[in-house]
Structure 1
């Protein structure tokens, strides 16, 4: 999971109000429960020391949520009397959560936002294709391509001139398959998709896949469900999208853990040092790990993180704040464009935090 969407949180001073709210409201009792949860959220922030302006900003943000548009919930991050970032959730939190802390509480977002992996669905036929980016959130348009429109259809006779026409038809199909493949490869790069799913005309699916660049073809699957025509959506297609996303995520996690076993980097001191030096390529997080809550010291900037308070002062922060290790490392990961991967393995990494590094000192020798 790339955390570039957290950019609004990186350059603002704390402390921070973080709220994970269940915004469901299916009936009158749901509306009442939502109102009570909002009151309790504000009281919690006040008890923990949040300033009135920030509490009011959070209250106004959550009060303005339309339940039908936010069926699962919403995350809110605020400081200095302003909401810096809100994020729709794809599943409701187990219970409403609010806190006032030096850094935003980000670990729950890794599971509740669930943005990765992203699947680029290509609905193809012999005339062109429509592209749609699919993830946990609502589908979004990712472009379209139209190829040659004539000649498009074969005839039913075997006369020599008709056979010549049919060759032209097949040439049109082949030409369009190449155009679709080129447009699909561009859309894949532009929208940052992780995996591709081809739906639609069986012959054209195969022809398009054969013409994709190797790296894109390697992450491309096909489905016989759905198509380009209006009304071709189906529950089976939705399940196929979920399946290819799960398969990609499992394969990515297994590959990361294999690399981690070969060259493990774990333990908060080692991870903090690597984060300061921008050496973390992928941060591994097991949400139930005990090391996530370990004490670290942070300054106003993502590079200012240390295990000891004196070390944080040496980094230029005169008044460092005590923060959770996962909050500090996730902020650093967002600032340095590191990937973050949630792992479920019960023993890896030890303590719940680990990393794959961009480089090591041994490689420099």
Structure 2
């Protein structure tokens, strides 16, 4: 997950209100239930020591969501009476809405609730052209269309010479249109930075377009088995997205496991455990952060200073480094702050196949390292 969108959270000092709002339930009394949620979240923050202005800002922001049709939820990050960031979630918060007040924003849940949300372009193909639709867990919007040659596109059953000539022109029209669609789809992928291309339509048309796509896209193309009018198409698209996200988590976990062994130069590029990760963060050597959500080290207390690379396992270590002001923070949130500052991505390995092992990574926190 690219963490660049979190930059605004680290441009201001804490403490921070972090609120994860469940919007997945839609019923007749939804507006009233969300009003009660707004009151409850503000009350929870007040009980944790949040200032009144920030509690009011959170309550008002949730009140504004009373009639929202968002399918999953919203995260709210606030300080000093202002909502600084409010991303939509790709999954509903487990256990319902909750709020926290802490020196750092509680960003690690985003890795699972927004995280590796695979974006795909669904191409609805027929013999005359295609319509493109951009999909993620929370968005579904038009992404353009392409029209090929409109005539001739239908075969005849006659064996007469003139009809065979007509059929050849039909074949040429199909080939021309497939090439036009493939070119437009490649441009759409580049503009949207989509992770997947899902082709919907008759088998012949799907194959024709796939064969004409650039080689670099072939491993990102999936042909849907259900047509545009099928009620099962949406479920199939979501299954493809989920499988892609799982495969991506598997790949990162495999890189981490391989990185545990020394390379040809004797360097180990995988680190795990809070002390090793804190040292790597201070030295700006985290290339990618890996987090297992249920890991016991995630909520382990570390000490932080005002700057992202000012963190330590013990408070006295910060003073040795010259930092006089320090605050306790969760290890996962402190490491994410450091990752944001050095443009390192982060990934949850919750869906990875190897995540069933409790030692991957040890304590739930790991990193692939960069070397100078």
Fold match, TM over 0.5?
yes
- 1:214–1:71: structure 2 CA closer, same or farther, 3 Å change rule? closer
Shift of 1:155: 3.6
Cα distance between partner residues in 1 of 2:282 and 2:146: 45
- 1:82–1:261: structure 2 CA closer, same or farther, 3 Å change rule? same
DSSP-derived class of the 1:235 partner = coil
Where do 1:65-144 residues align within 5 Å?
Answer: 65-89=65-89, 90-113=91-114, 116-144=117-145
Shift of 1:144: 2.2
Query: What per-residue deviation string (whole Å, max 9, x for no partner) do you get for residues 303-353 of structure 1?
Result: 444434455567775523221111122233334443322223132111001
Q: 2:291 aligns with which of 285, 298, 302?
A: 285
Question: Hey, what does 1:206 align to over in structure 2?
Answer: 207
Where do 1:302-317 residues align within 5 Å?
Answer: 302-309=308-315, 312=318
- 1:147–1:298: structure 2 CA closer, same or farther, 3 Å change rule? farther
DSSP-derived class of the 2:86 partner = strand
Q: 1:250 aligns with which of 240, 246, 252?
A: 246
Cα distance between partner residues in 1 of 2:217 and 2:323: 45
TM-score by length of 1: 0.87
Query: What per-residue deviation string (whole Å, max 9, x for no partner) do you get for residues 231-270 of structure 1?
Result: x2x3311121122122222222222222211113211232
Question: Hey, what does 1:274 align to over in structure 2?
Answer: 280
Q: 2:300 aligns with which of 294, 316, 335?
A: 294
Question: Hey, what does 2:336 align to over in structure 1?
Answer: 330
Shift of 1:115: 5.2
- 1:312–1:148: structure 2 CA closer, same or farther, 3 Å change rule? farther
Question: Hey, what does 1:42 align to over in structure 2?
Answer: 42
**Greater Cα offset, 202-211 or 303-312:** 303-312
- 1:266–1:115: structure 2 CA closer, same or farther, 3 Å change rule? closer
Question: Hey, what does 2:19 align to over in structure 1?
Answer: 19
Question: Hey, what does 2:267 align to over in structure 1?
Answer: none
- 1:178–1:112: structure 2 CA closer, same or farther, 3 Å change rule? same
DSSP-derived class of the 1:144 partner = strand
User: Contact (CA 8 Å) 1:271, 1:355: kept in 2 or not?
Assistant: yes
Question: Hey, what does 1:351 align to over in structure 2?
Answer: 363
Cα distance between partner residues in 2 of 1:313 and 1:322: 14
Cα distance between partner residues in 1 of 2:102 and 2:126: 53
Task: Give the aligned CA root-mean-square deviation in angstroms.
Answer: 2.5
Query: What per-residue deviation string (whole Å, max 9, x for no partner) do you get for residues 194-214 of structure 1?
Result: 222111132121011112222
* Count of paired positions: 354
DSSP-derived class of the 1:297 partner = strand
Give structure 2 stretches of 5+ with no counterpart.
261-270
Query: What per-residue deviation string (whole Å, max 9, x for no partner) do you get for residues 27-54 of structure 1?
Result: 44x5554434332321221222222211
User: Contact (CA 8 Å) 1:115, 1:135: kept in 2 or not?
Assistant: no
Cα distance between partner residues in 2 of 1:114 and 1:336: 18
- 1:349–1:40: structure 2 CA closer, same or farther, 3 Å change rule? same
- 1:201–1:57: structure 2 CA closer, same or farther, 3 Å change rule? same
Give structure 1 stretches of 5+ with no counterpart.
none
Question: Hey, what does 2:326 align to over in structure 1?
Answer: 320
**Greater Cα offset, 259-268 or 327-336:** 327-336
DSSP-derived class of the 2:144 partner = strand
Query: What per-residue deviation string (whole Å, max 9, x for no partner) do you get for residues 124-166 of structure 1?
Result: 1222222222221131222322223333333443333332332
- 1:314–1:25: structure 2 CA closer, same or farther, 3 Å change rule? farther
- 1:285–1:131: structure 2 CA closer, same or farther, 3 Å change rule? same
User: Contact (CA 8 Å) 1:117, 1:245: kept in 2 or not?
Assistant: yes
DSSP-derived class of the 1:107 partner = coil
- 1:195–1:279: structure 2 CA closer, same or farther, 3 Å change rule? farther
